[in-house]
Structure 1
């Protein structure tokens, strides 16, 4: 994990000061700083939070050009405040709260008059300069909105969940990026050949009616990035799962400029990928995560799968694919466990490093917890402790694991599962000891400390805590026992725990 730069630290500090109202800005910040600060303000907020209102409060100090509202249900006040900023990129989340103030003149509040909304909220600079507009919602819009919005803006990228596709393509013919993932009712790509400048196409989780719908992709001469991944996870790809690669091969599709393909979580086979590569001479990278090609290599091709775990996880981090991370790491752990006797320390180290990458990088909390729980459940942790004889970073790793679990909200339905996972981790640590192998002093201290803390907070786990402490004491050396006797507080807690049985 790269160490944050001073500018990143500064942006985070200013953002926290703005959110906590502990900072006063009496001057206008430049664009780069403003965008970084607003990004941190939004990152610190929970889904459907209200940190976006800080944009109104600091409109005279922040020179923002990029705003991402996707985690918010913004209101009319926030939308109208956009006129105070010269924007080049704007993303919306749900837009239900805007229907009352911007109703469709013909159908009322069933549809959103998005044309009037943009007309009132975008200044002249934003209208001229906006290059990305995202509306990831299944909100209905007034009839003919595509042409009228196109007249307002000259967007190069556009995301939307519900529109008449041929009309859309005709109206936004200069698009460079198009994300029509998860679009409801999209059964055809007819008209996409009008997007002559398209470079990046995201078709995630789309199931077109027949293979002929892919044929117009052949006419996209500038397309470099294609994402046809799915969100369908299966253990039996022969019976379930989509396979757009097979459909494109059958349709004879060739995209001469294509450099990157993401076909993750599809049923594509290694043979089909090899054929696809033959048809696309410019192709350089294939993401085939959680597919039957999870362990495949193709000559001359950079593959994002199990053979490049760190790079694959980095890609998933950049594209915000937390669910896919969980499934990918599950596949990794299961594959390693099934081949445990044939793996050397280098292979196991790669798995551990992949796990640490997930825990250290800014994936969401549930992804970290789920991944770590699956790792501990695979018994790889115990195996590595026993075979590696407690490597020097064991204490730090246990501390990190504990902190990941400890950040989970205990006052939820996850409480029992979380506490049991933490105790299971500590139990696995003491059970990894064998004759001639001592628990290092620092590891022993952490086991005692965390066990006492958990039992104090959750007395119903007294018996499990007792078992862990007894097992730890059983394997202590005479020198370790002597050291403990010099720590009266620790000795008292150990005795109380043992005597509580």
Structure 2
């Protein structure tokens, strides 16, 4: 019941590829597949209705089309002729009132002309279901007679929010469609009686939710419907429908199913109704006041047990009864929030399964947030019992929640992000007490937390807290694996980069996590990060920030990571020259600040780099001024470091987008000082002379 079939999975995949327009045009689907794919396609985005024009040949076997959530304009209507439809349902039609005006009513629409334009001859002969669900659509007078001739074999009509008055009497409507087997007149307006319904002798299902018939005489003709098996009268909170049916002495001899949910009913009334209908098998009586009622001869759906609640919710979702499903979800939330101690494990598992079912298959977007609300607000999901008894289910639940909220149609809204972060934080906090999270769950939380990118400033501290706590309480094996999780480390760098100016405190905390990961990362991981994630550039900015601190301890602690990074950089590769330059600038800074005991080792690395380096204008000069000052002016600077600093300066001489007059003059003055310093090696002084010569040969715009 809760798992998708292979066919359903294939349908979702094909629909997603059509949605993304990443599917070849040489495919053709049969009728069953076409109908299922289009349903899924419109579920992904109602605007995909326009893709039917592009893929009309591939989906030519389409026979069922539900446009209730689509924006219907003339182009959509004209494209319908490309398909042989036997089921067609419209939503709001207000965009078509100009193209199909009612000549007798400026607020109306000529629905007959619309259908003549939209539906081809073949479809008219095979159409068995037609639906109109737009609110308060005024159809032209006599429309029912003309449509009955246009579609002579109609067996099902759904006409929601329709006014039955002198322009369209209900009796005339029934006479026009004598072959109907299914009729839905929910939310009918001005309907005072069902007189005329006796003409629908083949009717098997009647849906009249919230139809508002107050007089019991208006129900009497229901007894004439000898084939009626299903009656839905839910939502009549101001009309006692069951009492009216009893008073009118209505007996529907074939009735098997009754939905009287959300209507005022007393126990004795429902018992009497069941006695009068011996074939009745199922009654939906949610929030009717019959919570304690038990009738052994029927399946009575109400909130008397988890299994009954789940069956009620399944019924509501299947029939797209939003209000009824909302009541079911609220009841489940209440049970898991305040009454979970009274439920055994199997009953709780039933609720967990149905919440996951909602996240997987619910068609309406409101239902999924309600399920998530149950997960992140119900007290049960903070208990030891949940984390221990249902530990195996938790990873799948968390992944499903994230997938359902991280909808491809739009970015995460504030509610969705808050829900996800709260669930992640609750799980991470659970690990504080010495409990270890499953590897799959921990990796998912870390990866998705850094992936969120936190568009709402007020949630930055929450994201930071999750990352810190998860990193702190993971096991040794998990920590070792996480240090080589390339996706997580890249995400941490991206998140930290956004925090540099926005939240310096959180930035430092995230960088501490990165430091701990890079310390134990393998060479393969480091090589990937250097080549694909601009890690050296981001590390360079980090070192520049902490180099401004009077305390050099943290800078000294970062040296080992710097040495690890430079080992995987090849300065002879064009794409890695910038990384090599920044890496060596960090080493020179550390050397100049006398933060490394084995200075000869650093000098050798820098000297090797100098020998392989060729000039390239790749640095943002203002960003390296602090580095150059430290490299060239420190009392600890060696000839190798100074030569490297001169190399840095030479790269910026022609960087016209960055060099200011003050910076130009600083380069010249510094180079002259080094050239004239007889204590330095000859090669160092010659390097300074080369910089000065380059300045003379270059643009003279800053010469004073």
TM-score (ref. length: structure 2)? 0.61
Question: Quick one: distance in 1 between partners of 2:145 and 2:310?
Answer: 44
Match in the other structure for 1:335: 335
Match in the other structure for 1:45: 45
Mapped pair 1:311 → 2:311: yes
1:3-35 CA deviation, whole Å, 9 max, x = no partner?
Answer: 333486168527834872742248x75444443
CA shift in 2, pair 1:173/1:326, >3 Å: same
Mapped pair 1:321 → 2:321: yes
Mapped pair 1:75 → 2:73: yes
Q: What SS class does the counterpart of residue 20 from structure 1 fall into?
A: coil
Residue pairs, 1:19-418, within 5 angstroms = 20=21, 22-25=23-26, 30-46=30-46, 49=47, 51-52=49-50, 54-55=52-53, 58=56, 62-107=60-105, 109-137=106-134, 138-154=136-152, 155-160=154-159, 161-162=162-163, 163-230=168-235, 242-293=239-290, 297-306=294-303, 307=305, 308-383=308-383, 385=385, 388=388, 391-407=391-407, 414-415=413-414, 417-418=415-416
Question: Quick one: distance in 2 between partners of 1:400 and 1:357?
Answer: 10
Question: Quick one: distance in 2 between partners of 1:52 and 1:381?
Answer: 43
Question: Quick one: distance in 2 between partners of 1:24 and 1:486?
Answer: 43
Q: What SS class does the counterpart of residue 204 from structure 1 fall into?
A: coil
**TM-superposed deviation, 1:199:** 0.7
**TM-superposed deviation, 1:170:** 1.7
Question: Quick one: distance in 2 between partners of 1:327 and 1:67?
Answer: 29
1:180-215 CA deviation, whole Å, 9 max, x = no partner?
Answer: 011222232222122111111010122213222222
Q: Which moved more, 1:197-206 or 1:67-76?
A: 67-76
Match in the other structure for 1:484: 479
Question: Quick one: distance in 1 between partners of 2:79 and 2:512?
Answer: 65
Check the 8 A contact 1:322/1:363 in 2, yes or no.
Answer: no
**TM-superposed deviation, 1:110:** 3.2
**TM-superposed deviation, 1:431:** 4.4
Check the 8 A contact 2:310/2:351 in 1, yes or no.
Answer: no
Question: Quick one: distance in 2 between partners of 1:295 and 1:375?
Answer: 28
Larger relative contact order, structure 1 or 2 (CA cutoff 8 Å, min sep 6): 1
**TM-superposed deviation, 1:44:** 3.1
Structure 1, unmatched stretches of 5+, are: 233-239
Q: What SS class does the counterpart of residue 134 from structure 1 fall into?
A: strand
1:370-413 CA deviation, whole Å, 9 max, x = no partner?
Answer: 2221342121211364573562222222232333333388868x
Check the 8 A contact 2:171/2:196 in 1, yes or no.
Answer: yes
Question: Quick one: distance in 1 between partners of 2:85 and 2:411?
Answer: 41
CA shift in 2, pair 1:73/1:448, >3 Å: closer
CA shift in 2, pair 1:22/1:400, >3 Å: closer
Question: Quick one: distance in 2 between partners of 1:121 and 1:381?
Answer: 51
Match in the other structure for 1:419: 417
Match in the other structure for 1:235: none
Question: Quick one: distance in 2 between partners of 1:483 and 1:120?
Answer: 64
CA shift in 2, pair 1:374/1:104, >3 Å: same
Q: What SS class does the counterpart of residue 25 from structure 2 fall into?
A: coil
Check the 8 A contact 2:265/2:288 in 1, yes or no.
Answer: yes
Q: What SS class does the counterpart of residue 140 from structure 2 fall into?
A: coil
Question: Quick one: distance in 2 between partners of 1:496 and 1:431?
Answer: 18
Check the 8 A contact 2:63/2:84 in 1, yes or no.
Answer: yes
Check the 8 A contact 1:176/1:197 in 2, yes or no.
Answer: yes
CA shift in 2, pair 1:295/1:2, >3 Å: farther
Question: Quick one: distance in 1 between partners of 2:148 and 2:128?
Answer: 12
1:279-314 CA deviation, whole Å, 9 max, x = no partner?
Answer: 111111122334434575421212333432443333
Check the 8 A contact 2:25/2:58 in 1, yes or no.
Answer: no
**TM-superposed deviation, 1:93:** 1.7
Report the structure, 1 or 2, having the larger helix content. Answer: 2
1:431-464 CA deviation, whole Å, 9 max, x = no partner?
Answer: 4468675544554454555555557555533444
The number of equivalent residue pairs is 483
Match in the other structure for 2:593: none
Q: What SS class does the counterpart of residue 150 from structure 1 fall into?
A: helix
Check the 8 A contact 2:101/2:110 in 1, yes or no.
Answer: yes
CA shift in 2, pair 1:111/1:10, >3 Å: closer
Check the 8 A contact 1:113/1:141 in 2, yes or no.
Answer: yes
**TM-superposed deviation, 1:355:** 1.3
**TM-superposed deviation, 1:256:** 0.8
Question: Quick one: distance in 2 between partners of 1:59 and 1:487?
Answer: 49
Match in the other structure for 2:698: none
Structure 2, unmatched stretches of 5+, are: 493-505, 514-704
**TM-superposed deviation, 1:218:** 1.6
1:246-276 CA deviation, whole Å, 9 max, x = no partner?
Answer: 3322332221111111122223344432222
Larger Rg, first or second structure (1 or 2): 2
Q: What SS class does the counterpart of residue 198 from structure 2 fall into?
A: helix
Q: What SS class does the counterpart of residue 159 from structure 1 fall into?
A: strand
Q: What SS class does the counterpart of residue 333 from structure 1 fall into?
A: helix
Q: Which moved more, 1:330-339 or 1:30-39?
A: 30-39
